[in-house]
């Protein structure tokens, strides 16, 4: 348990370093996408290990996933309009 | 010892954690708001009886319809069934002693009242003239009415919605009595669950939209106003992402009530229980994907319009399935036309018309003509008033003996149900024609050729007003003089609430109920209850 | 202690945990709406957003991220202790968590103060064009909302730590709820940091 | 179309209108089928299975998957048909044709429509358009969202600030048709309307090529409307002094001075209105120096002279 938590902490710190380093390169839009991807991985690590999603019931996982699905609805359909005007 | 005969002091009521007492707090509060919204509607209908704007000035009229919309949507329709009947019945129906978080439940009422007071304050300060939809940039830059105050009120009210939704979801998941499986739950509970899902996931988006409006007004930040670099359609997307599902917050509970009343007075189990249950969930989820049908003429892209139109047709199907199942539940029935059943049948008829006229508005080309006309006004009043309000009144009559332990005057009940049904049709049927003829909504004066239908509509509104006042009188009367009700006065055969005393004891059941036997649909539920 | 509406402790814990998760889902939707507005603003004002983001103190932001994710790790340990019934240990770790939260708020407050001095607060005194003002509006709203959540979290953590010393809570469930909330606040910051601090590339 | 005193259907005054009406009738037919079907079954059951009737009630069915599937599938298929019909017509309404015969610019502002013609004509709250020709509109708003709506043509499109939106129609009937603002835009939203006047092509040509009205007062009236003067200088408006019977009458100024409103006073009040503020009013009016030439000011003065006099 202690080992896992500290490992997660280490990975999170490394990913933070990676994000900062990537931002110093001129990657344009890809830079943002990469940064968001890393943020997603970090969020997933926190959710799975620190928030115990690993051991949670299906119901709890559903609740955690629902908001993401609904944000996807919001973004997908709004951007369907913004991008095709 | 019933929940009513507990400590009678005001303090005991204001600090109660009993879901049944909180239901009463809500019932009284929303009745006040209904009266305020109804008064505004009355003034509007009088003004519209003549083409010229003679009773009130344009500015006042605009404030009236904004007040009517805001109060009716957020302070009446949204909390009406979930927070009164839902609060009262949901724990009982699943065999629980209370909701999962009773303190949160009470907090929800305080938050709601505080939000309502803010809205009233904005009214006293001079009102708001943007319409309940707060379209930008008018609301964010141009109007000089009290938008921020009213937005703050709605923002605060939103929390009560979220609290209630959260509470109900957890209650349904975790508080069911032993043996109360999902497919044994009364259909009212299913509709409450679907409603709660929308409340929890949609309301926060409204909150952030209102904050953005306030920010644009206060700091001149260019979020929505093109003159400042913003996009007015962003507002419409955010607003309708909440407000379209909010329509289902209003109608789903009504469907739940009807699904209880119809089988009771048909004397048989409902037809297609599992389909009705699943349709509630389908409506709640699909309802999130169709908001763009409010924006077909707004300058939204044609392609987005196509997607939203397509999805809108899909969401109409589960509503249709429900209507078919209610109708089929009358087959081989033994039908008693008591007051709640009259409301329920009225609901089915009016909701059918309201739902089907929605198809006109989901049809892209037809919506180009009908958008923002009286056709739209008629359509959503058929859903909101013809559907939701009929269901609310039906449910109130149905469960009145349970809530109060008293019976109301049945013949007065029938008279007012008929009066409301006829008055409603006279008020809103002509508006469909007005809309197709092209009369735009939110007009305080209009060309004289539209007058005849407006006169009919105003006349109908008069009947409607009388129809709403009657129940207030005889229900209040029954509180003091009504005949005592027994445990199950209607001979209902489903729902645990009928298996406890009228009015119920504080913890609902003397002993926790336990359910055995077959799943719902095959056999009436009450026969499998072991108390 | 079992509240009267519940049958047993397990039901109570499950209800609280599910309630917390639903609340967190609701919170995510609140930020979701703001993120949509942000994304459209950034799409329309790409260069201005990049320009305005250069004013951010990148390294302070990185430091703050590190502080916050460390606090989350400590919180995870605290929850663990709580579940094992080690109240004293849990309370100690909670105090460390709250301290780290306060450090975060301090650094954030310093940044805000700097930006305030440089007329970066949206409103009549803002210095910059409309796109930059929009960026700073989102910056202040998102970080402000985040800091508000964090402040509530710090208060709750301190209360819980104080209570845990004197009156052990039932089976650690309040600490667990608090942990979920704290982690969500941490997790949101993972997104805010790159979206607000790291847009433009420094020459 | 009227039935006794009841109007029941709007005029079909543009080519698109028939297509839209056809889709409407299709939806109406399908909806009536379902509504009447539900109604018939309901009434039939209510009568047959009323409490105490001798009908057979043995073994009431509680579920029938075939029935359920069929009443899920049938409405789905029918509604997809409606979707397709509506979408086809929508694309036609909202895609400008390759060529149009007359391209107008429409500006919406609180609370009037300003229409610009290719030949420089400008009209307020009125469109003159030729019969049987394709008219396209490029629309924009100066302030809030408005919506250009002509019910008898079945066309409507929101008019946004900061971005052009387009609409087109082909009138098929001579006459006057209502123009409405359909999107709530503030206090006088209901008054933000006017007329679309469809003329025979030859009449339209005459109207368009004909000289601007020869009478100076007529020209002045047109200018008065074009510049939106009536927005403030109108009966019932409190923002600006009344102009009726103004010429030749004494006026008390905010400074306490009294002057006689002669033609020079009128001219001064147009080019530099803040010089002589009338008592009880605020300095709201913009100056028109450089925006109106002297001829136009003469025309306006001629119009003001006629105001309040019955023609």
For residue D141, what are the CA distances in angstroms to C42, D15, D144? 25, 27, 7
pLDDT tier at B77 (50, 70, 90 boundaries)? Answer: very high
Preferred mutation among B91, B158, B166 to probe C, highest tally of C CBs within 10 A = B166
User: Torsions phi, psi of B362, nearest 5?
Assistant: -80, -20
Domain C11-197 classified CATH 1.20.120.80?
Answer: yes
CB pairs under 8 A between B and D: 277
pLDDT in tens, D164-197: 999 999 999 999 999 999 999 999 999 998 999 9
User: Looking at the predicted structure, is the pLDDT value of residue D280 above 90?
Assistant: no
Q: Please give the mean pLDDT across all residues of chain B.
A: 93
The domain spans of chain C are 11-197
pLDDT in tens, B309-319: 999 999 999 99
The domain spans of chain B are 10-530
- Residues D84-108 have a mean pLDDT of 92
User: Looking at the predicted structure, is the pLDDT value of residue D278 above 90?
Assistant: no
pLDDT in tens, B442-481: 999 999 999 999 999 999 999 999 999 999 999 999 999 9
Q: Which two tokens stand for residue B465?
A: 């007003």
User: Looking at the predicted structure, is the pLDDT value of residue D70 above 90?
Assistant: yes
pLDDT in tens, B136-192: 999 999 998 999 999 999 999 999 999 999 999 999 999 998 888 898 899 999 999
- The helix, strand and coil proportions of chain A, stated in percent and rounded to the nearest 5, come to 85, 0, 15
- pLDDT in the model for residue C171: 57
The chains found to touch D (3+ Cβ pairs under 8 angstroms) are B
DSSP character at residue B74: I
How many CA atoms lie less than 13 Å away from B205 in the CB half-sphere?
A: 32
- pLDDT in the model for residue D269: 86
> In whole angstroms, what is the distance from residue C110 CA to residue B383 CA?
53
Chain centroid to CA B506: 27
B56 at interface of D, judged by CB pairs closer than 8 A: no
pLDDT tier at D212 (50, 70, 90 boundaries)? Answer: low
User: Looking at the predicted structure, is the pLDDT value of residue B522 above 50?
Assistant: no
A79: which chain C residues are within 8 Å (Cβ-Cβ)?
A: 39
The domain spans of chain A are 1-51, 57-85
C200 at interface of B, judged by CB pairs closer than 8 A: no
Structural domains of chain D, ranges and CATH numbers in brackets = 2-51+60-94 (1.10.287), 102-209 (2.60.40.420), 216-306 (1.10.760.10)
User: Looking at the predicted structure, is the pLDDT value of residue B521 above 50?
Assistant: no
For residue C115, what are the CA distances in angstroms to B188, B211, C101, D103, D183? 53, 22, 21, 51, 41
- pLDDT in the model for residue C202: 61
User: Looking at the predicted structure, is the pLDDT value of residue C170 above 70?
Assistant: no
C123: which chain B residues are within 8 Å (Cβ-Cβ)?
A: 218-220
Q: What percent of chain B has pLDDT over 90?
A: 85
Chain centroid to CA B392: 8
Q: Please give the mean pLDDT across all residues of chain C.
A: 90
Inter-chain residue contact A74 with C66, CB threshold 8 Å: no
Helix (H, G, I), strand (E, B) or coil at C3: coil
CATH of domain B10-530: 1.20.210.10
- pLDDT in the model for residue B245: 96
- pLDDT in the model for residue D261: 86
- pLDDT in the model for residue B523: 43
Preferred mutation among A24, A63, A81, A83 to probe C, highest tally of C CBs within 10 A = A63
pLDDT tier at C174 (50, 70, 90 boundaries)? Answer: confident
- ipTM rounded to 2 decimals: 0.92
> In whole angstroms, what is the distance from residue B247 CA to residue B240 CA?
10
Interface of A with B in 26-85 (CB under 8 A): 59, 66-67, 70, 73-74, 77-78, 80-82, 84-85
pLDDT in tens, B151-162: 999 999 999 999
> In whole angstroms, what is the distance from residue D183 CA to residue D189 CA?
8
- Residues D114-140 have a mean pLDDT of 90
Tell me whether strands D122-124 and D112-116 are parallel, antiparallel or unpaired. Answer: antiparallel
- pLDDT in the model for residue B518: 55
More confident residue, D209 or C58: C58
Helix (H, G, I), strand (E, B) or coil at C126: coil
The minimal CB distance from B288 to the residues A59, A70, A84 is found for: A70
Inter-chain residue contact C190 with A42, CB threshold 8 Å: yes
Q: What percent of chain C has pLDDT over 70?
A: 95
Which residue in this structure is represented by tokens 């059951």?
Answer: D45
Nearest C-alpha in D relative to B446: D190
Inter-chain residue contact B372 with D149, CB threshold 8 Å: yes
Q: What's the alpha-carbon Rg for chain A, to the nearest Å?
A: 16
B446 at interface of A, judged by CB pairs closer than 8 A: no
Among A28-42, B339-353, B390-404, the range scoring the smallest mean pLDDT is A28-42
User: Looking at the predicted structure, is the pLDDT value of residue C200 above 80?
Assistant: no
Inter-chain residue contact B237 with A81, CB threshold 8 Å: yes
Q: What percent of chain B has pLDDT over 70?
A: 97
How many CA atoms lie less than 13 Å away from D220 in the CB half-sphere?
A: 18
Calculate ∠ Cα B79-B82-B85, nearest 5°: 115
- Residues D63-71 have a mean pLDDT of 94
Inter-chain residue contact C70 with A9, CB threshold 8 Å: yes
User: Looking at the predicted structure, is the pLDDT value of residue B74 above 60?
Assistant: yes
pLDDT in tens, B485-497: 998 999 888 788 9
User: Looking at the predicted structure, is the pLDDT value of residue B130 above 90?
Assistant: yes
pLDDT in tens, D28-62: 999 999 999 999 999 999 999 999 999 898 888 88
- pLDDT in the model for residue C113: 94
> In whole angstroms, what is the distance from residue B282 CA to residue B11 CA?
42
D115 sits in which H/E element: strand D112-116
> For chain C, first and last CA: distance in Å?
60
- pLDDT in the model for residue D129: 95
- Residues B289-298 have a mean pLDDT of 96
Q: Which two tokens stand for residue B310?
A: 């397509």
Nearest C-alpha in B relative to D156: B368
Which residue in this structure is represented by tokens 């000289």?
Answer: D211
Among A49-63, B30-44, B98-112, C28-42, the range scoring the smallest mean pLDDT is A49-63
User: Torsions phi, psi of B514, nearest 5?
Assistant: -140, 135
- pLDDT in the model for residue B392: 97
Among A6-20, C160-174, D214-228, the range scoring the smallest mean pLDDT is C160-174
pLDDT in tens, B12-67: 899 999 999 999 999 999 999 999 999 999 999 999 999 988 889 999 999 999 99
Q: Do chains D and C touch (3 or more CB pairs under 8 A)?
A: no
Check: CB of residue D308 under 8 Å from CB of residue D228: no
Check: CB of residue D133 under 8 Å from CB of residue D170: yes
Q: Do chains A and C touch (3 or more CB pairs under 8 A)?
A: yes
More confident residue, D290 or D137: D137
- Residues C89-118 have a mean pLDDT of 93
pLDDT tier at C7 (50, 70, 90 boundaries)? Answer: confident
User: Looking at the predicted structure, is the pLDDT value of residue B234 above 90?
Assistant: yes
């Amino acid at each position: 348990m202690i080992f896992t938590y500290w490992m997660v902490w280490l990975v999170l710190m490394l990913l933070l370093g990676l994000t900062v380093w990537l931002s110093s390169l001129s990657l344009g839009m890809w830079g943002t996408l990469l940064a968001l991807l890393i943020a997603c991985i970090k969020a997933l690590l926190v959710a799975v290990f620190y928030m115990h999603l690993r051991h949670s019931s299906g119901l709890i996982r559903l609740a955690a996933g629902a908001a993401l699905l609904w944000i996807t609805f919001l973004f997908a359909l709004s951007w369907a309009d913004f991008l095709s005007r | 010892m019933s929940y009513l005969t507990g400590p009678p002091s005001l303090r005991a009521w204001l600090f109660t954690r009993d879901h049944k007492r909180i239901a009463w707090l809500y019932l009284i509060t929303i009745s006040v708001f209904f009266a305020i919204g109804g008064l505004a509607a009355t003034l509007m209908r009088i003004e519209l009886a003549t083409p010229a704007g003679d009773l009130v000035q344009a500015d006042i009229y605009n404030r009236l319809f904004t007040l009517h919309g805001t109060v009716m949507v957020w302070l009446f329709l949204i909390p009406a069934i979930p927070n009164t009947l839902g609060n009262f019945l949901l724990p009982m129906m699943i065999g629980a002693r209370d909701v999962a978080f009773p303190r949160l439940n009470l907090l929800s009422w305080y938050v709601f009242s505080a939000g309502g007071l803010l809205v009233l304050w904005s009214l006293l300060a001079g009102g708001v003239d943007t319409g309940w939809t707060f379209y930008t940039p008018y609301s964010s830059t141009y109007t000089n009415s009290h938008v921020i105050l009213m937005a703050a009120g709605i923002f605060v009210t939103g929390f009560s919605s979220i609290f209630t939704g959260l509470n109900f979801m957890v209650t349904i998941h975790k508080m069911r009595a032993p043996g109360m499986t999902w497919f044994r739950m009364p259909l009212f509970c299913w509709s409450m669950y679907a409603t709660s899902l929308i409340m929890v996931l949609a309301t926060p988006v409204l909150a952030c939209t209102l904050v953005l409006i306030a920010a644009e007004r206060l700091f001149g930040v260019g979020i929505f106003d093109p003159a400042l670099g913003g996009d007015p359609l962003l507002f419409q997307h955010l607003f309708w992402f909440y407000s379209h599902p909010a329509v289902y917050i209003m109608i789903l509970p009504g469907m739940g009530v009807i699904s209880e009343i119809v089988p009771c007075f048909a004397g048989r189990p409902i037809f297609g229980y599992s389909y009705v249950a699943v349709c509630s969930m389908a409506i709640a989820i699909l309802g999130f994907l169709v908001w763009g049908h409010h924006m077909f003429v707004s300058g939204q892209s044609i392609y987005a319009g196509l997607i939203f139109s397509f999805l809108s047709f899909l969401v109409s199907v589960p509503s249709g399935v429900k209507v078919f199942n209610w109708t089929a539940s009358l087959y081989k029935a033994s039908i008693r036309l008591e007051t709640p059943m009259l409301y329920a049948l009225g609901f089915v008829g009016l909701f059918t018309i309201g739902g089907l006229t929605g198809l006109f508005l989901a049809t892209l080309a037809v919506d180009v003509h009908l958008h923002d006309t009286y056709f739209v006004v008629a359509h959503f009043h058929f859903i909101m008033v013809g559907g939701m309000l009929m269901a609310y009144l039906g449910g109130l009559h149905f469960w009145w003996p349970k809530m109060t332990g008293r019976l109301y005057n049945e013949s007065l009940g029938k008279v007012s149900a008929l009066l409301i049904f006829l008055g409603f049709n006279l008020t809103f049927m002509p508006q469909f024609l007005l809309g197709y003829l092209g009369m735009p909504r939110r007009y305080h004066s209009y060309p004289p050729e539209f007058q005849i239908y407006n006169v009919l509509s105003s006349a109908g509104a008069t009947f409607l007003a009388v129809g709403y006042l009657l129940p207030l009188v005889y229900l209040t009367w029954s509180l003091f003089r009504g005949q005592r009700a027994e445990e199950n006065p209607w001979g209902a055969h489903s729902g645990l609430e009928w298996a406890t005393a009228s009015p119920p004891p504080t913890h609902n059941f003397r002993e926790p109920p336990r359910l055995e036997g077959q799943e719902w649909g095959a056999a009436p539920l009450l026969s499998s209850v072991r108390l | 202690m079992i509240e009267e509406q519940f049958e047993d402790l397990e039901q109570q814990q499950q209800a609280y945990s599910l309630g917390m998760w639903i609340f967190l889902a609701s919170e995510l939707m609140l930020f979701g709406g703001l993120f949509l507005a942000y994304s459209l603003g950034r799409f329309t004002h790409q260069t201005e957003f990049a320009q305005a983001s250069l004013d951010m103190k990148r390294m302070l932001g990185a430091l703050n991220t590190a502080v916050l994710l460390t606090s989350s790790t400590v919180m995870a340990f605290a929850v663990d202790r709580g579940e094992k019934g080690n109240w004293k240990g849990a309370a100690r770790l909670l105090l460390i968590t709250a301290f780290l939260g306060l450090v975060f708020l301090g650094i954030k407050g310093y940044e805000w103060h700097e930006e305030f001095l440089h007329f970066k607060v949206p409103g009549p005194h803002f210095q910059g064009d409309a796109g930059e003002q929009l960026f700073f509006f989102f910056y202040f709203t998102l970080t402000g909302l985040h800091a508000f959540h964090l402040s509530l979290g710090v208060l709750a953590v301190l209360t819980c730590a104080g209570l845990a010393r004197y009156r052990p809570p039932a089976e650690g469930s309040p600490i667990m709820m608090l942990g979920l909330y704290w982690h969500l606040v941490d997790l949101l910051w993972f997104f805010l940091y790159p979206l607000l601090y790291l847009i433009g590339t420094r020459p | 179309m009227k039935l006794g005193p009841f109007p029941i259907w709007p005029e079909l005054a543009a080519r698109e209108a028939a297509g839209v009406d056809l889709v409407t009738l299709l939806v109406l037919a399908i909806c009536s089928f379902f509504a009447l079907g539900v109604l018939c079954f309901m009434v039939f059951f209510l009568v047959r299975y009323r409490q105490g009737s001798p009908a057979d009630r043995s073994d009431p069915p509680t579920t029938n998957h075939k029935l359920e599937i069929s009443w899920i599938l049938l409405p789905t298929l029918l509604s997809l048909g409606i979707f397709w019909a509506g979408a086809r017509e929508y694309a036609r309404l909202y895609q400008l044709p390759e060529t149009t015969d007359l391209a107008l610019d429409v500006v919406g502002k609180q609370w009037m429509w300003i229409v610009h013609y290719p030949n420089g004509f400008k009209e307020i709250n009125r469109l003159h358009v030729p019969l049987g020709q394709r008219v396209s509109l490029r629309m924009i708003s100066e302030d809030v969202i408005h919506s250009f709506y002509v019910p008898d043509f079945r066309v409507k499109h929101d008019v946004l600030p900061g971005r052009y939106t387009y609409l087109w129609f082909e009138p098929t009937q001579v006459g006057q048709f209502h123009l409405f603002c359909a999107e709530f835009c503030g206090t006088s939203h209901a008054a933000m309307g006017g007329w679309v006047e469809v003329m025979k092509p030859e009449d339209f040509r005459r109207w368009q090529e004909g000289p601007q009205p020869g009478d100076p007062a007529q020209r002045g009236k047109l200018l008065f409307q074009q510049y939106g003067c009536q927005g403030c200088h109108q009966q019932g408006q409190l923002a600006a002094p009344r102009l009726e019977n103004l010429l030749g009458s004494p006026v008390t100024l905010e400074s306490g001075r009294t002057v006689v409103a002669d033609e020079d006073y009128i001219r001064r009040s147009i080019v530099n209105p803040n010089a002589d503020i009338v008592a009880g009013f605020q300095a709201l009016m913009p100056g028109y120096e450089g925006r109106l030439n002297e001829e136009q000011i003469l025309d306006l003065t001629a119009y003001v002279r006629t105001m309040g006099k019955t023609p």
